[in-house]
Structure 1
Amino acid sequence: MTTPPPARRQALRTGAGIAAAAALTGTGACAPPGPPATKAAPAITPAPSRTTAPTPTGTAPASPRAHPGLPAQIAHGPRTRPRVALTFHGQGDPALAEALLRAAERGGARVTVLTVGDWLDAHPALARRILDGGHELGNHTQRHLAVNDLPEAEAYAEIEECARRLRRLTGSIGTWFRPSRAPRASPLLVRLARRAGYPHVLSYDVDSLDHTDPGADAVTRTVLDAVRPGSVVSLHLGHPDTVAALPALLTGLDHRGLHAVTTTELLS
């Protein structure tokens, strides 16, 4: 991705400035899905198309690829390259998911969506939509339970059932597994994920706190205050603040010389 021209950066800005927000205080877990009922989906002002926007592929590897030399649980990529991965916990209003994907594509960004299986059951077309936009899919359990706290058989079923949905819809179980309602997987869950076909569990080193619905400016500032080369950023579909924040967030990354790529690209 090339640094966008000034006109394009200006078109993506969502306001004259970004209000100060609470600094990132720690790594949080997933929140219950969806925004408060009083919030409406934000309007996204179209920005000029970018010549480096991702080319739709609609493909994914049949099975995740192991990355030699990387730990079983990954929180970030190499710090030596100007890349970051924006990763989204996949559930919530499908209209907001569509709006976010369009905003990412206008900004030339590729993202990683870790989907919840019962969300795919309700909105199966979104699996192909994500891949066809040049993004990648992963597994975020079947029902978005506190998976670290489940008995072994139930925890494995949560991973495996979501994997089956992904394979049925796309021909692949997805590229990554991320535990639901936890920032990191327990040692048992790491083993269960490997048994289900995922060599690595995907954690993160930057929590946007967008699931608390703090406002678009706060989401943007929280991420930009903490992001570094190689960061894996935790964000959520289904929250209007996240959709509204994305253009300014991508502009801020551009100003820092950082490019938003899929997690697989980050680690390749």
Structure 2
Amino acid sequence: MTPTNRRTALRLLAAGAFTTGCAATGAVAHPASTSTHAKPTHAPTPRHYPGLPAQLTHGPRTHPRVALTFHGQGDPAIAHSLLTEAERHGAHVTVLAVGTWLDAHPDLARRILDGGHDLGNHTQRHLDINAMSEADALAEITACADRLRRLTGSIGTWFRPSRAPRASPQVTRLAARAGYPHVLSYDVDSLDYTRPGAAAVTRQVLGEVRAGSVVSLHFGYPDTVAALPAVLEALDRRGLSAVTTTELFS
């Protein structure tokens, strides 16, 4: 090797070592975490379901499946606990992530996908999107979509409006413009965000859930973590499988 080639090789090796060091430094300290500088895990993209409305509240009532959907925000430790508990029961869930939450905890995008769960868009700042101007509402949707794409290679599989159970016609139209053919609503509200206690969350979900239901739950509330095992065990006794929303509509 000539001196010139040797110097070039050394510079390339040094650059590679520096890149590896940046990735290691940027990783979040959690056993399930991977560096946000690593190659993205490519997530599925939104799907169009012909014959179904632009706004979906539940899946087919003819199959013994339900979708547990979580608003992605709050303490990341609780998020990890909920995902681990779901996986322990063989369940898969759908997480609609808030963009600012992904900014603060980017490793969770990979954690969700690596667990076999759906990951979607719940706007950038979790404001009342139905009350916004067209430009501001579109910016909320696309800003979160951009973060999802950067972290996973996809804008996510679903969009859910923030601060409202259903999207206005304007928001539904803007979501389609951003690449989401359907807005994901729900037919069962766990009311876990009211902090009623784990037993009340369990009763609320089990009192309303049935085949095809889409259940609204939240990361960030200890009551939800405590309620999840009882909810999953009861669903199993009823012969209802907890699947991703994509699986529910497939």
Q: TM-score, normalised by structure 2?
A: 0.83
Per the alignment, residue 109 of structure 2 pairs with 127
| Equivalent residue, structure 2, for 1:60 | 43
Tell me the distance in 2 between the aligned counterparts of 1:84 and 1:65: 18
**Which of 71, 75, 78 is the matching residue for 2:57?**
75
Letter in 1 for 2:55: Q
Asked if residue 136 in structure 1 is aligned to residue 118 in structure 2, the reply is yes
Letter in 1 for 2:83: L
CA contact (8 A) 1:215 1:241 kept: yes
Partner residue in 1 for 2:243: 261
Q: Is 1:188–2:170 an aligned residue pair? A: yes
Q: Which of 223, 229, 232 is residue 241 of structure 1 equivalent to?
A: 223
SS in 2 for 1:87: strand
Structure 1 residue 153 displacement after superposition: 0.2
User: Which residue number corresponds to residue 132 of structure 2?
Assistant: 150
For residues 80 and 145 of structure 1, the distance between their equivalents in structure 2, rounded to whole angstroms, comes to 35
Unaligned runs of 5+ in 2: 1-40
For residues 219 and 148 of structure 2, the distance between their equivalents in structure 1, rounded to whole angstroms, comes to 18
In structure 1, what residue type is equivalent to 2:141? I
Structure 1, unaligned runs of 5 or more: 1-57
Q: What TM-score does the superposition give when structure 1 sets the normalisation length?
A: 0.78
Name the larger-Rg structure: 2
Shift of 1:199: 0.2
Q: Indicate the structure whose relative CO is greater, using CA pairs within 8 Å and at least 6 residues apart.
A: 1
Q: How many residues align?
A: 210
1:142, CA displacement in angstroms? 0.0
> CA contact under 8 A between 1:59 and 1:132: conserved in structure 2?
no
Aligned pairs for 1:204-223 (under 5 A) are 204-223=186-205
Which whole-Å CA distance do the structure 2 matches of 1:213 and 1:254 have between them? 25
Which structure has greater helix proportion? 2
Distance in 1, matches of 2:86 and 2:203, equals 18
1:134 positional shift: 0.6
Matched residue SS, 1:71: coil
Over aligned residue pairs, what C-alpha RMSD do you find? 0.6
% identical equivalent positions: 77
